[in-house]
Amino acid sequence: MEDRSALVLDAVGLQIGGARILHDVSFEVATGEMVGVIGPNGAGKTTLFNVISGVLIPTSGRVLLAGKDVTSRKVHQRARVGLGRTFQTSSVFPGLSARENVRLAAQSKLGGATSPWRMPRAGDEATAVAMRCLDEVELAHHAGTDAGVLSHGDKRKLEIAMLLATEPEVVLLDEPMAGVGSGDVAGLVEVIRRLHRSGRTVLMVEHHMEVLLGLVDRVAVMHHGELLAIDTPKAVMADTAVQQAYLGETV
Amino acid sequence: MSTVLLLLITGVGLGALYFLVASGLSLIYGLMGVLNFAHGSFLTLAGFLGWEVGRRVGDGSWGGLLVGMLVGLVVGALVAAITELVFIRPLYNRHIEQVLVTVGLGLASVALFEGIWGTDPIQIRLPEWLGGTTDVLGANIPNDRWLLIGTAAVVLVLIVLFLQRTSYGLVIRAGVENRTMVTALGIDVRRAFTIVFAIGGAAAGLGGVLASVYYGQVGAHQGTSLLIYAFIVTVIGGLGSLTGAAIASVLVAVIQQFANFYLGGTGDIAIVLALAAVLLVRPTGLMGKVTH
Q: Span B77-106, mean pLDDT?
A: 92
Residue in B closest to A77 by C-alpha: B186
Alpha helices in chain B (DSSP H): 2-32, 39-58, 62-83, 95-117, 128-131, 144-165, 167-177, 179-184, 189-215, 222-237, 242-262, 267-281
Of B166, B182, B184, the CB nearest to A119: B166
Per-residue pLDDT of B256-270, as tens digits, reads 999 999 998 899 999
Q: In sequence order, what DSSP letters do the residues of A102-117 get, joined into one string?
A: HHHHHHHHHTTTT-TT
The closest CB to that of A108, out of B178, B187, B195, belongs to B187
CATH topology of domain B2-281: ABC transporter involved in vitamin B12 uptake, BtuC (1.10.3470)
* Range 115-134 of A in CB contact (< 8 A) with B: 116, 118-121, 126
Residue count (chain B): 292
pLDDT at B292: 37
pLDDT at residue A114 in the model: 47
A101-127 pLDDT, tens digit per residue, is: 999 888 877 765 444 445 555 557 888
Question: What is the structure's pLDDT at A185?
Answer: 87
Residues from chain A that touch B185, judged by Cβ atoms under 8 A, are 76, 79, 104-105, 108, 162, 166
Q: How far is residue B101 from each of residues A172, B27, B80, B88, B90, measured CA to CA in Å? A: 39, 18, 13, 8, 11
pTM of this structure: 0.78
* pLDDT higher than 90, residue B191: no
β-partners of residue B46 are none
A107 in contact with chain B, both atoms CB, cutoff 8 A: yes
Chain B positions touching A120 (Cβ under 8 A) are 166-167
Q: Report the candidate in B121, B79, B118 with the shortest Cα–Cα distance to residue B211.
A: B121
d(CA B209, CA B72) in angstroms, rounded, equals 6
pLDDT tens digits, residue range A63-102? 999 888 999 888 878 887 888 888 766 678 998 999 999 9
Residue of B nearest to A126 (CA): B167
- H/E element holding A182? helix A182-197
Strands A170-174 and A83-85: parallel
Does the pLDDT at position B205 exceed 90?
yes
Instruction: Give mean pLDDT, residues B162-178.
Output: 88
| pLDDT of A39 | 87
What domains appear along chain A, each with residue ranges and CATH number? 2-245 (3.40.50.300)
Closest residue of B to A123, CA-based?
B165
Domain ranges across chain B: 2-281
Which one-letter DSSP state was computed for residue A249? Answer: S
Inter-chain contact B184–A75, Cβ cutoff 8 Å? yes
How far apart (Å, rounded) are the C-alpha atoms in residues B60 and B128? Answer: 8
Is the per-residue pLDDT at B281 higher than 60? yes
Cβ-nearest to A93 among B165, B168, B181: B181
pLDDT grade for B187, boundaries at 50, 70 and 90: confident
Could you tell me how many CB contacts below 8 A there are between chain A and chain B?
Answer: 77
Q: What is the ipTM, given to two decimal places?
A: 0.74
Q: Which residue in the set B167, B187, B191 is minimally distant from A118, CB to CB?
A: B167
B223-244 per-position pLDDT tens digit: 999 999 999 999 999 988 899 9
CA A146/CA B191 separation, integer angstroms: 26
Do B35 and B240 meet the contact criterion of CB atoms below 8 Å apart? Answer: no
Res B179: pLDDT: 83
A79/B184 Cβ within 8 A:
yes
- Quote the distance between the C-alpha of residue B108 and its chain's center: 20
For the ranges B17-26, B114-123, B172-181, which has the lowest average pLDDT?
A: B172-181
> Can you list the residues of chain A whose pLDDT is less than 50?
1-2, 113-117, 249-251
